[in-house]
Amino acid sequence: MTRNHTRWVLVLASIASSMTALDTLVVATSLTTIRLDLGASIEQLEWTVNAYNLSFAVLLMTAAALGDRLGRRRMFASGVTLFTLASAACALAPGAGALIAARAVQGAGAALVMTLAMALVSSNYPPERRGAALGTFFALTGLAVAAGPLVGGAVAEGLAWQWIFWINVPIGLAVAPLALARIPESFGPDRRLDLPGLALVSGGVLGIVWALVRGNVAGWASAEVIGTAVAGAALLAAFVRWELRAPAPMLPMRFFRSRAFSAGNAAIFFVLASLFTGVFFLAQFMQTGLGSSPLEAGLRLLPWTATLFFTAPVAGKLADRFGERAFMVAGPLLQAVGMGWIALAAGPDVAYAELVAPLIVAGVGVSMSFPAAQNSVVSAVPPEAIGKASGVNSTMRELGGVFGIALSVAVFAGAGSYASPAAFTDGFTAAMGVSAGLSLIASLTGAALPRRPRGVVRAAPAFEGES
């Protein structure tokens, strides 16, 4: 593998990942414009977001399995193509129903893109350079995270909402053929798909995610929510049982004997739960609580979102040198401090200047966590299993985000409302407290990662436990 090839892998994977990240954030800040133009109901707006999240979460493990079996480069390019076509369908949607259907297809494409982008970067860089490469990957993706609220605000204030989807089309049309031409193909060790495993894990994740996204609407004690949660848990238990005896498991259970693998995945679950709580509520607080316009809200969040671009590459390089544990403890702890600081400072009359420092602290913290968690997980498995490890990590990230939003929305509803800036701030303060608590749990979980001697690259364990 030449350095020229690895650069192409990093650049193309980062561009495709940025495209999906930008789309998610832009849609979130453009929902009001979509509602007015299409005459969509609140429930339809909810499904504009949830249809994407559901298909994305459910298909992450499937995406990893397809990449291992059919080729990571081929399925990555297929994901980019599918996401691009679905974006055009979103832009052309004549009504809310068609938009929701296209968003579900978009989520399927995004699952292929995100899982296989991280797998390609992880598998094409040697262990001693992997952390730095992942740091750059997350930094470039961070540009889209930083630009998302700005682009969404500009669209919401003056552009046609369709352009949030048309933006993806030229990017996808360029990236897909370049990926086929410039990225070397790679496969996992499996010769056939574990179809029972795919069906069980997809159904299980669907049940859990459905319960989380519907809990605050249908009621946590409703038959729908309890039934889908129980069914999802049962299917996941059946998945574990099947994988323990399957001749060619899509996810060997022995991976979880590695503390680096288990603790890394658990920590990133709680990091994303905390982060998505902030993503969901901070822009709303800037607008509902402080009276900012959508574009002003996007600008005011830059101290938080832009930190990923500056911090992740440095954190990735340092994780290669010093190990991931320190960054998986300190990063979430800083995010907890930042979110807790915001909760204490929040109020309808708070000056924006008082929020800049905690936004930066929280942003630096989460930016330290991303490359360390991914590197911990993929370095804990043999090179041929990196695709599977990336699929698990992507699934845990998405489940964490959905869980964080569901929990924080329930807490917000119990403590505040949208009736006035003061009422919103009451709920917002409680939600930010939840975010801080989730990040503190992530820091404690990160402490379970095994120590790595300074400057020593961790070899994949034999899954007999680690010290």
Please give the Cα distance from 135 to 138 (Å, whole number).
5
Say what the pLDDT of residue 459 is. Answer: 46
Phi/psi region, residue 323 (left: phi>0; alpha: psi -120 to 50; beta: rest), is left
Distance from the first to the final alpha carbon of the chain: 33
Rounded (10°) angle between helices 3-29 and 259-284: 40
Containing H/E element for 438?
helix 421-446
User: Which candidate, 160, 140, 155, 185, places its Cα nearest to that of 20?
Assistant: 140
Secondary structure element (H or E) that encloses residue 331, with its range: helix 325-345
CA geometry: angle 79, 82, 86, nearest 5 deg: 140
20-43: burial string, b at 16+ Cβ within 10 Å, e else: bbbbbbbbbbbbebbbeebebeee
Distance CA 300, CA 295 (A): 9
Q: Return d(Cα 147, Cα 405) in angstroms, integer.
A: 21
Tens of pLDDT along 63-85?
888 888 889 999 999 999 999 99
Task: Tell me if 324 sits within 8 A of 373, measured CB to CB.
Answer: yes
pLDDT of residue 157: 66
The whole-number pLDDT of residue 59 equals 87
CA–CA distance, 226 with 228 (Å, rounded to integer): 6
From the centroid of its chain, how far is CA 415?
27
CA of residue 38 relative to chain centroid, distance: 28
Token code pair at residue 378 = 């993929």
pLDDT digits (tens, 9 = 90+) for 28-49: 667 767 877 888 776 777 788 7
| Residue listed under structure tokens 């499904």 | 47
> What distance lies between CA 450 and its chain's CA centroid?
24
Predicted confidence at residue 467, as pLDDT, reads 35
Whether pTM exceeds 0.85: no
Spatial CA neighbour of 127 closest among 462, 455, 360: 455
Tokens of 220: 């946590």
Q: What is the DSSP string of 99-151?
A: HHHHHHHHHHHHHHHHHHHHHHHHHHS-HHHHHHHHHHHHHHHHHHHHHHHHH
Token code pair at residue 169: 């089309």
> Cβ-count burial of 355 within 10 angstroms (0-12 exposed, 13-18 middle, 19+ buried)?
buried
Q: Which residues contact 77 (CB under 8 A, 6 or more apart)?
A: 175, 176, 177, 179, 180
Please state the length of the chain: 467
Q: How many CB atoms lie within 10 A of CB 95?
A: 11
**For the residues of 154-181, what is the DSSP string, one character each?**
HHHHHS-TTHHHHTHHHHHHHHHHHHHH
Distance CA 220, CA 216 (A): 7
Q: Which parts of 185-229 are beta strand (E)? A: none
Residue type, 13: A
Q: What is the mean pLDDT of the chain?
A: 85
Give residue 136's pLDDT.
81
Q: How far apart are CA 436 and CA 174, in angstroms?
A: 40
pLDDT of residue 197: 86
* CA distance linking residue 273 with residue 277, whole number of Å: 6
Backbone angles phi, psi at 448, to 5 degrees: -80, -10
Residues of the chain with pLDDT under 50: 454-457, 459-467
DSSP H helices, 30-71, are 31-38, 42-58, 60-70
pLDDT of residue 80: 97
